Amino acid sequence: MSRQPGQPQSPAAAEQAQPAVAGISTTAVHAGEDRRRAHDSITTPIIQASTYTFANTAELIDYHEGRIEREEYGRYGNPTVRAAEAKLALLEAGPDMPAAALLCASGMNAITSTLLAMLPTGSHLILTDDCYRRTRQFIQTFLVRLGVQHTVVPACDYAAIEAAIRPETRLILSESPTNPYLRVLDLPRLVAIARQHRVKTIIDATFATPYNLRPLHQGIDIVIHSATKYLGGHNDLLAGVIIGRPGIISALRESQGITGGICDPHSAYLLLRGLKTFALRMERHNRNGLAVAHFLHNHPRIARVHYPALPDHPDHLIAMEQMRGWGGVVAFELDADMSATSRFIDRLRLPYIGPSLGGVESLVEQPSLMSFYELTTEERLAIGIRDNLVRLACGIEDTEDLIADLSQALDDKDVIRLA
Ligand SMILES: *Cc1c(COP(=O)(O)O)cnc(C)c1O
């Protein structure tokens, strides 16, 4: 198919125009975007269109017969969104593995769309316990209503995972690293169990990103990310992405054409722009996370630090082996009660108090007062959320500044007095 200069790229052209990319930073900058763009602009344009028009009936018939590739209607595809999808597929899978990506309205939409499309009534799903709260809620309320059963197993308990498999089990879903305790799954071990029983595996790798972990290369069937976090990287968009073999992704794309949870072109543009610096940002997030974890680990006012690179983390060896870095999120417990822990958070000057992670600005939260506020202390303890737990999502600030800030807050007399 020929493309006139100045015309937006077609889906096929986007794939054919790949530069010979190799490294992750080169991929993040160049992959997925046509080398020659509309109006010779260096940026991929935001194609703000709900529908795409046909010159005549013959062109419409050619489109239906697959003789030309082009867009039809905004719910079925958009050139800006396709460029972001192509970049993400290459970032996750690399050039040698056939893979495709589907962008969704949010990370939660990516999760719910995948589960709805892949789990028929009467089927069964296994999910690990340390996970994003809304994922658990969706499975325990919506899927149960649709006649889909589930079993929750402890993260990294492989005997429990295998024991939970039934004849009707279709999927095993886990995060890695998990939220908030950063448990790291032994992916080849999980894949071996799943394959033996013909069960598919899904990893929500939001906390890892393709910079730190490559689940598809370990045999995982589907990877999901909340692109709202590290992939977008600037706390300014919501999006989710599903990545896997092209056959699975095109089936999910067909479902999205019906259910409608698309990513809008503005968010796709912000994502493309954020991804340009993805590798640079991850390098700094990793460095900050590691340095802060070590600093806290050695601080007398800290009872416990949860970070996979620390030797006392339960999955330390797996994490060292299977991950390139361990990300910017550090969970830790103060040697203090609920209110002294809040006082510590209020004394911090650099991180903003807020949910989320993965943006350039550091964010801090006390999970018991953020995502789990409406639960009682007992209900929180039942799912492992203690009142003295803090989750710090390191941004890309200077490492020394983050540590100096933590240090002054921990040494504050009011914090100590209240403990
Ligand atoms: C944030 C997050 C989600 C949900 O993503 P949204 O983009 O907020 O919908 C899912 N899983 C994990 C691990 C997350 O951190």
Q: What is the DSSP letter of 367?
A: G
* Predicted confidence (pLDDT) at residue 367 exceeds the cutoff of 80: yes
> Looking at residue 15, what is its pLDDT?
47
> Looking at residue 81, what is its pLDDT?
98
Residues 307, 180: Cα–Cα separation, whole Å = 10
pTM: 0.94
> With a 6 A CB cut-off, is 106 part of the ligand 1 pocket?
yes
Architecture of domain 72-275: 3-Layer(aba) Sandwich (3.40)
Q: Where are the domains of the chain?
A: 72-275, 278-416
> Looking at residue 416, what is its pLDDT?
61
Residues 61, 50: Cα–Cα separation, whole Å = 20
Alpha-carbon torsion (332, 233, 74, 254), positive or negative: negative
Nearest Cα residue to 76 out of 168, 11, 172, 163: 11
Both tokens of 136, joined, read: 């658990």
* Predicted confidence (pLDDT) at residue 206 exceeds the cutoff of 80: yes
CB atoms closer than 10 angstroms to residue 42: 6
204 annotated active-site: yes
> With a 6 A CB cut-off, is 238 part of the ligand 1 pocket?
yes
* Predicted confidence (pLDDT) at residue 203 exceeds the cutoff of 70: yes
| Average pLDDT value for residue range 278-285 | 98
Nearest Cα residue to 158 out of 201, 100, 123: 201
52 annotated active-site: no
> Looking at residue 20, what is its pLDDT?
58
> With a 6 A CB cut-off, is 107 part of the ligand 1 pocket?
yes
Q: Which amino acid is at 221?
A: D
Per-residue CA distances from 257 to 226, 231, 234, 253, 260 (Å)? 20, 24, 28, 6, 5
Q: DSSP of 166-232, one letter per residue?
A: -TTEEEEEEESS-TTT-----HHHHHHHHHHTT-EEEEE-TTTHHHH--GGGGT-SEEEEETTTTTT
Mean pLDDT of the chain: 93
Per-residue CA distances from 339 to 7, 301, 373 (Å)? 59, 15, 14
Residues 127, 111: Cα–Cα separation, whole Å = 12
Which is catalytic among the residues 204, 221, 387, 405?
204
> With a 6 A CB cut-off, is 226 part of the ligand 1 pocket?
yes
Which is catalytic among the residues 75, 133, 245, 386?
75
Containing H/E element for 265?
Answer: helix 265-276
> In this structure, are strands 124-128 and 149-153 parallel, antiparallel, or unpaired?
parallel
> Looking at residue 377, what is its pLDDT?
85
Atom of ligand 1 at shortest range from CA of 356: 1
Residues 166, 43: Cα–Cα separation, whole Å = 50
Residues 338, 93: Cα–Cα separation, whole Å = 43
| Average pLDDT value for residue range 246-269 | 98
Residue 21's pLDDT band, with cuts at 50, 70 and 90, is: low
> With a 6 A CB cut-off, is 10 part of the ligand 1 pocket?
no
Residues 8, 152: Cα–Cα separation, whole Å = 46
Cα(334) to ligand 1 centroid in Å equals: 26
> Looking at residue 384, what is its pLDDT?
84
Cα(228) to ligand 1 centroid in Å equals: 7
Both tokens of 61, joined, read: 């018939």
Q: DSSP of 21-69, one letter per residue?
A: --SHHHHHHHTTS-SS-GGG-SSPP----SB---SSHHHHHHHHTTSS-
Q: Whose CA is nearest to atom 7 of ligand 1?
A: 107
Which is catalytic among the residues 82, 183, 229, 284?
229
> With a 6 A CB cut-off, is 390 part of the ligand 1 pocket?
no
> With a 6 A CB cut-off, is 108 part of the ligand 1 pocket?
yes
Phi-psi category of residue 96: left, alpha or beta, with phi > 0 → left and psi -120 to 50 → alpha: alpha
> With a 6 A CB cut-off, is 206 part of the ligand 1 pocket?
yes
CATH number of this structure's domain 278-416, picked from the four choices 3.40.50.150, 3.90.180.10, 3.90.1150.10, 3.40.50.1820:
3.90.1150.10
* Predicted confidence (pLDDT) at residue 252 exceeds the cutoff of 60: yes
Residues 260, 256: Cα–Cα separation, whole Å = 5
229 annotated active-site: yes
Mutate to test the pocket of ligand 1, among 114, 115, 132, 179 (most ligand atoms within 8 A of CB): 132
User: How far is it between the farthest Cα atoms of the chain?
Assistant: 79
Residues 224, 160: Cα–Cα separation, whole Å = 23
* Predicted confidence (pLDDT) at residue 172 exceeds the cutoff of 60: yes
* Predicted confidence (pLDDT) at residue 374 exceeds the cutoff of 90: no
87 annotated active-site: no
* Predicted confidence (pLDDT) at residue 300 exceeds the cutoff of 80: yes
Return the C-alpha torsion angle 32, 34, 37, 43, nearest 10.
30
Per mean pLDDT, which range of 169-178, 265-274, 360-369, 410-419 is the poorest?
Answer: 410-419
